[in-house]
Amino acid sequence: MNVLKRWQRPELTTTPTFGRLFNLRDELDRLFNAPFGDSLPASQLLSVWKPALDLFEDKESLTVKAELPGMKKEDLQISLHDGTLSISGERKSETKFAEAQTYRTERFVGRFQRSVVLPAPVKVDGVKAQYTDGVLTVTLPKTEEAKPKQIQVNVE
């Protein structure tokens, strides 16, 4: 015996065991609205800025790139201590719109600090930093001990 069952859109059905797990639309709304919702005060939301950071290694050096759009190089501090590179600074809020009514605020302002443990020892006196188009690039040359060495094998 064949039974016909009326088709229902998946978003309208519920599974008691998994609840909202299957409701993709609700989960995406929650994901995109959570950082800017009413659950945290605005001052606390804007203080959690962590700029994106990449670390690359080649034979000669380590390279760290950090995205810091809208920053001035005078507002950045870079330090190296015990094999840890630290980048910190402060993005200041725009006073241009201080008296305007705000409808949406998504750009982070305030202090930040990023630290990364370097995977190899570096020459402190050879470190170079360059800030171009909102991207900070720090080049850290490796010490001679940290560079890979080619060992020749003699056949007898």
Q: How far apart are CA 108 and CA 111, in angstroms?
A: 9
Mean per-residue pLDDT, 33-61: 68
Average pLDDT over residues 69-83: 91
Same domain, 89 and 54: yes
The domain of 63 spans 50-93+109-141
Strand partners of residue 116: 85
Q: Give pTM, 2 decimals.
A: 0.63
CATH of residue 68's domain is 2.60.40.790
Indicate the pairing of strand 135-141 with strand 61-67.
Answer: antiparallel
Does residue 81 form part of some domain?
yes
116-154: pLDDT as tens digits: 999 999 999 999 999 999 999 999 999 888 777 777 788
Output the CA torsion 90→79→122→58 (10° steps). Answer: 0
Q: Are residues 69 and 131 in the same domain?
A: yes
